[in-house]
């Protein structure tokens, strides 16, 4: 008879929302690429750190898995649960307050669910720059940025999310709170725990608040779109730009002809300022304080040299703020434009900058030979040695033709192997900034040494011995010893 009674109303007690209705939970269960859809026991949205701790204690006591989620813009499937329906999604978006700005210490203390754009705006209102910048900044959150160690378009000048973080507050799998909110640039008091949680993709703890570094706002900025023959010329131009501009060099982005063409086709507001098409382009940005040489002047001088040395075929320097934004729109809309052409196969690779041109030459040729129907859409942060070495179905394949799209995706494992083996041969990484999630989890195990894998396993076992935090992400099944522990 007891089975016929309604189940007891059991949920953690905290301030915030606890969603169990299917329609309410749906937006939290599918990723941005619409590639992974899961199910959940509930979606918890606490209002504060005490609430996060209450949810973690409740889950820990019941052996319930927890999937942390920020803006759900991650590209590797790390932010959504699996199909078991046994996990709680812990969404941080109601924890979005700016706790403090210290303009003497040049730090911003901000809760994990604050969007990157809101954090940038808070810094700007205090006359400072938060330099992390990426196309998803309107939706992605500081917690997600740190959990994935996000990169973006200014890493060349200011470093990635890890380098911008001085302190963290983290809720551990059993609900304990670690207060590491120190705004210190020097602190040699043992293991630097914050670095364990940065880039851990929600597998070790819940980041609830962070202390981030702020910088002076540059007085002036300038950018240009430059036509170059190939990645070799682009690399030579990067060398020249470093020499000519030094610290003023803020971004150096490579864009293939195909990538730019997709933007011009799908984004009606976007126009190229260059008269002739080129196989490759570079988008350069310089920025500088008032005391330094005006960036536009430095940029024009640099481009004169590049044209004179035959490194560039043509260049357009933005003359107004609107033109500056229009040039960036050409770069920032590539992902959206590529998505409009059907399914995508993405490779987020890092290489020594000196190996990029050779990698592109060899891998482009190998793909053209083995997969003639696949179309390369290559772009990325050349200044950081990071390429988005992406593929789309052949020109003219209908995005709505599900059979053709499935046939394209059927080649994904073989394409991944070809690309990632070429990366590994050159000492590169198969995930530069998007993390492993579920997308690269198993492949990463193939390319990491046994020593590296056993150290990662030991860290997981020490902090999350019951394997409750984001199970099935980052660590390959063979490495996730904790998950099968009793």
Closer to ligand FAD by CB, 151 or 467: give it.
Answer: 151
Closer to ligand FAD by CB, 130 or 236: give it.
Answer: 130
Closer to ligand FAD by CB, 68 or 393: give it.
Answer: 68
Sheet holding 314-317, edge to edge: 314-317, 220-228, 280-288, 249-256, 374-381, 386-393, 348-350
438 binds ligand FAD per the rule CB under 6 A: no
- Min dist CB 136 to ligand FAD, Å, is 3
Count residues contacting ligand FAD (CB under 6 A)? 37
From the list 38, 70, 199, 218, which residue makes contact with ligand FAD (rule: CB under 6 A)?
70
- Min dist CB 34 to ligand FAD, Å, is 11
From the list 54, 56, 98, 134, which residue makes contact with ligand FAD (rule: CB under 6 A)?
134
- Min dist CB 35 to ligand FAD, Å, is 12
Closer to ligand FAD by CB, 296 or 460: give it.
Answer: 460
Closer to ligand FAD by CB, 344 or 470: give it.
Answer: 470
245 binds ligand FAD per the rule CB under 6 A: no
End-to-end Cα distance, the chain: 32
73 binds ligand FAD per the rule CB under 6 A: yes
From the list 16, 46, 152, 180, which residue makes contact with ligand FAD (rule: CB under 6 A)?
152
Closer to ligand FAD by CB, 96 or 315: give it.
Answer: 96
69 binds ligand FAD per the rule CB under 6 A: yes
Closer to ligand FAD by CB, 375 or 388: give it.
Answer: 388
140 binds ligand FAD per the rule CB under 6 A: yes
71 binds ligand FAD per the rule CB under 6 A: yes
From the list 28, 32, 280, 328, which residue makes contact with ligand FAD (rule: CB under 6 A)?
32
180 binds ligand FAD per the rule CB under 6 A: no
112 binds ligand FAD per the rule CB under 6 A: yes
| Interface residue list for ligand FAD (CB under 6 A) | 32, 67-75, 78-79, 92, 112, 134-136, 140-141, 143-145, 147-148, 150-152, 201-202, 206-207, 335, 433-434, 437, 470, 473
């Amino acid at each position: 008879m007891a089975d016929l009674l309604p189940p007891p109303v059991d949920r953690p007690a905290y301030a915030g929302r606890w969603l169990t209705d299917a329609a309410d939970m749906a937006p939290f269960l599918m990723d941005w690429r619409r590639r992974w859809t899961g199910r959940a026991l509930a979606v918890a949205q606490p209002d504060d750190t005490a609430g996060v701790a209450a949810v973690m204690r409740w889950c820990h006591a019941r052996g319930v898995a927890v999937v942390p989620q920020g803006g759900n813009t991650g590209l590797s499937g790390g932010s959504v649960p699996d199909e078991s329906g046994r996990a709680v999604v812990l969404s941080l978006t109601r924890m979005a307050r700016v706790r403090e700005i210290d303009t003497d210490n040049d730090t911003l203390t901000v809760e994990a669910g604050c969007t990157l754009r809101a954090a940038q705006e808070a810094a700007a209102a205090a006359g400072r720059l938060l330099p992390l910048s990426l196309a998803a900044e309107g939706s992605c959150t500081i917690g997600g940025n740190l959990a994935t160690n996000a990169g973006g378009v200014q890493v060349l000048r200011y470093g990635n999310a890890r380098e911008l973080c001085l302190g963290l507050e983290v809720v551990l799998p059993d609900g304990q709170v670690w207060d590491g909110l120190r705004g210190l640039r020097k602190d040699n008091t043992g293991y630097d725990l914050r670095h364990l949680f940065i880039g851990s993709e929600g597998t070790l703890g819940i980041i609830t608040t962070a202390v981030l570094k702020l910088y002076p706002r540059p007085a002036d900025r300038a950018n240009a779109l430059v036509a170059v023959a190939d990645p070799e010329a682009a690399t030579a131009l990067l060398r020249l730009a470093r020499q000519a501009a030094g610290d003023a060099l803020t971004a150096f982005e490579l864009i293939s002809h195909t990538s730019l063409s997709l933007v011009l086709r799908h984004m009606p507001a976007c126009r190229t300022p260059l008269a002739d098409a080129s196989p490759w382009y570079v988008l350069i940005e310089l920025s500088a304080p008032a005391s330094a040489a005006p960036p536009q002047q430095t940029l024009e001088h640099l481009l004169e040299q590049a044209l004179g040395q035959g490194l560039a075929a043509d260049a357009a320097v933005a003359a107004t703020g609107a033109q500056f934004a229009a040039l960036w729109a050409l770069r920032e809309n590539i992902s959206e434009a590529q998505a409009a052409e059907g399914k995508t196969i993405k490779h987020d690779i890092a290489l020594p900058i000196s190996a990029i041109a050779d990698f592109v030459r060899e891998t482009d040729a190998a793909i053209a030979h083995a997969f003639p129907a696949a179309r390369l859409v290559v772009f990325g942060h050349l200044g950081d040695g990071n390429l988005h070495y992406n593929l789309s179905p052949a020109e003219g394949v209908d995005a709505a033709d599900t059979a053709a799209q499935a046939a394209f995706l059927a080649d994904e494992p073989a394409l991944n192997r070809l690309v990632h083996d070429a990366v590994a041969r050159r000492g590169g990484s198969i995930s530069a900034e998007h993390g492993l999630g579920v997308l690269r989890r198993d492949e990463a195990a193939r390319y990491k040494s046994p020593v590296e894998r056993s150290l990662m396993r030991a860290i997981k076992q020490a902090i999350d011995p019951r394997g409750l935090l984001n199970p099935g992400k980052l660590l390959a099944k063979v490495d996730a010893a904790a998950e099968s522990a009793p």
